[in-house]
Amino acid sequence: MRPIQARISIGAMAHNLRVARSYAGAARLFAVVKANAYGHGLSRARRGLAAADGFAVLTLEEAANLRQMGVEQPILLLEGIFGADEIAPCAELELWPVLHHAGQFDWLRRQPPVRPIQVFLKFDSGMHRLGFPLAEHAAVAARARNLPGVAGVTLMTHFAQADEGAGVDWQLQPFLHEVAGHGLPWSSANSAALLRYPETLGAWARPGLMLYGASPFTDASAELLGLRPAMTLQSEIIGVQSLQAGEGVGYSQLFRAKRPMRVGVVACGYADGYPRHALTGTPILVNGRMSRTLGRVSMDMLCVDLSEHADAGIGSPVVLWGEGLPVETVAAAAGTSSYELLCALAARVPVLEMD
């Protein structure tokens, strides 16, 4: 059997949820489990994050799966309903849709749910993605409250730079100023805001990335934040090559040796979810010690520098990210985000579930 494997820890997710709760104060937590729980598996996340106050997903299918798994907590639909035909399932499954455009209001007005539902109203406070303009908050909130079949309303927004130096104030203050008079609960905090900006804690926080043990910040590691990686992608060296000075390795010969050296070939490639654009120097662990990738990542293999690893050979264990090598460190070196790496784990990679 090909040696690549993803180890996913249920216990690490439960631990990270406890860390999130320690920052949340009186706010309740929606555990964000969209995109197959950021590549970790919806069923595994449901168990690891069972103590969450609610779950947040993207689609009706994800929500229905959670209900079938026995989830009784509130489930938030982050992009709301995509047509009037989804109103009845929302009521049946007791889902809380996010409303972010006028068409969704029209659908609810024409086909009110037989069972009243909770809704979230999303306002655009500066990200300019989804949401009603803040300037229309009074009319939007009034219309939502008058919709037939609406049991309650929560206001929300989303931050564009909570994980960067610009922070949240430029969005949070206008949002709070505009919506303060409605007397309605509100939600704004993602992982980065939850960890760094307690003023963003309304009625509900929506942590995602941190629950899987990755830091949203470039200046604070997951370990420093008390988080544990839930996913470890590991494999082995399946071949060793000896290069002479001037010889290259891999497609396009992007790496050429400056001196004689040993190169290990690892059973992992972009078809497994490792980023093809990760070039020479991306960190990797061999036998528990740091090394670097060499050259271009292939579909099924990548190469690693064994110059300082005389003990390494065929069968030596390799960690691509996870225990001992934070996914955000690999992502930064590869010019991408830890979100992309985790979500890109391929279906062909076997998963070993850990407690």
Q: Catalytic residues, which ones?
A: 34, 251
* Closest among 18, 8, 74, 72 to 49, alpha carbons compared: 18
Alpha helices (runs of H) in the chain, residue ranges in sequence order: 10-24, 34-38, 42-48, 60-68, 87-93, 102-110, 137-145, 169-179, 191-196, 327-334, 338-343
SS3 label, residue 123: strand
Q: Is residue 111 classed exposed, middle or buried when 0-12, 13-18 and 19+ CB atoms within 10 A define those classes? A: middle
Q: In sequence order, what DSSP letters do the residues of 183-205 get, joined into one string? A: ---EEEE-HHHHHH-GGG--SEE
* Closest among 113, 182, 111, 176 to 142, alpha carbons compared: 182
CA distance 316 to 300: 17
Contact between 76 and 56 under an 8 Å Cβ cutoff? The reply is yes
- Cβ-count burial 257-283 (b if 16+ within 10 Å, e if not): beeebbbbbbbbbbebbbbeebbeebb
37: left (phi over 0), alpha (psi -120 to 50) or beta: left
User: Pairing mode, if any, of strands 231-243 and 317-321?
Assistant: antiparallel
